[in-house]
Amino acid sequence: SEAREFCSRAPTAMLVKEFGLSSQPQDDHSRRSMWVLTATGIATGLLLLLSFQGLQDSFTCDHSEGEKGGWVCLELRSMTACRSQIQGPVQVQAQFDMSNGDKANVGVVCPWDSATTELRMFFALGAIASVGAGVLAVWHDSAHFAAVSKSGGVFSTAALLLHTCFDFHSLAASKVENDPMCDVTLSHNMPSGVASVVLHCSQTFYVGTAYLDIVVAGLLLVSSYFVHRWSMYIPIADDGL
């Protein structure tokens, strides 16, 4: 592999060393590579942030009687528990009409499975490491870091795309599981004290996270290509790192 890399870079390196013909193309490739690496780093950081937020579940309750309705909220929490009653990933807004005429608005966030999110965060950190290697390659004119960035970027791209398949599977399973009770008025077999309930379900946040996986994977692949192309303009004798 080292011999092939030498042969691929030797003609370009000779032009740089003997005639100085590639300084302008090298500068152009450096700028383009840095722009792509910066965009990839920003997108990957956003993916890491959304993945962290996607770990958190929450329950909010607003009862018409204020603090006096606290016991009602405790009862409603058991009715909207994640996993046992609602299958994540999904965000649910529930409007409860009580038998005594009171009302309660409940917000429930059921996140991704924790193992799924942790894997995505691990792959995102790997992508950030690949971007960092690419920046070091361009900054220090290092073919070594360019090779690290390329191999890390290709691996992270494949891992993120594979993970995206599991993301969309989780989204589809959640939709199938929750559809019978979403966006319909439920009034039969209600617990004592509850007349009816309407649940509004949304997966927008989680669908956006899954598509961001694809965007980051695409940017990683492009940045790896740009860094590889740029590394061909590095003079062999000047590969400092």
* Per-residue DSSP letter, 65: T
| The predicted structure's pLDDT at residue 234 | 64
Cα–Cα separations (whole angstroms), residue 153 to 45, 127, 157, 209 = 15, 6, 6, 19
Looking at residue 43, what is its pLDDT?
A: 95
Q: 96: helix, coil or strand? A: strand
Specify the pLDDT at position 6.
41
Averaged pLDDT score across all residues of the chain: 79
Q: What is the pLDDT of residue 196?
A: 76
Q: Judging by beta carbons within 10 Å of its beta carbon (0-12, 13-18, 19+), is residue 177 exposed, middle or buried?
A: middle
pLDDT in tens, 147-194: 899 899 999 999 999 999 999 999 999 999 888 888 777 666 666 667
Does 72 have pLDDT greater than 80?
no
35: number of Cβ within 10 Å: 12
Pairing of strands 90-98, 194-202: antiparallel
Most confident of 41-50, 76-85, 93-102: 41-50
Confidence of residue 64 (pLDDT cuts 50, 70, 90): low
Query: Is residue 89 very low, low, confident or very high in pLDDT (cuts 50, 70, 90)?
Result: very high
208-241 burial code (b ≥16 CB/10 A, e <16): ebbebbebbbebbbbbbebbbebbbbbbeeebee
Taking 3-state DSSP, the helix, strand and coil percentages for the chain, each rounded to the nearest 5, stand at 65, 15, 20
Res 19: pLDDT: 41
- As a whole number of angstroms, the distance between CA 177 and CA 182 comes to 10
- pLDDT for the residue 41: 93
Whether 75 shows a pLDDT value over 90: the answer reads no
Q: How confident is the model at residue 40 (pLDDT cuts 50, 70, 90)?
A: very high
Q: Report the pLDDT value the prediction gives residue 32, as an integer from 0 to 100.
A: 82
Residue 82, pLDDT score = 83
Does this model's pTM top 0.85? My answer is no
End-to-end CA distance of the chain: 18
Higher pLDDT residue, 220 or 10?
220
The residues near 126 (Cβ < 8 Å, ≥ 6 apart) are: 152, 155, 156, 159
Instruction: Name the residue among 137, 126, 198, 190 with its Cα closest to residue 163.
Output: 126
Comparison of pLDDT for 54 and 205, the residue scoring more: 205
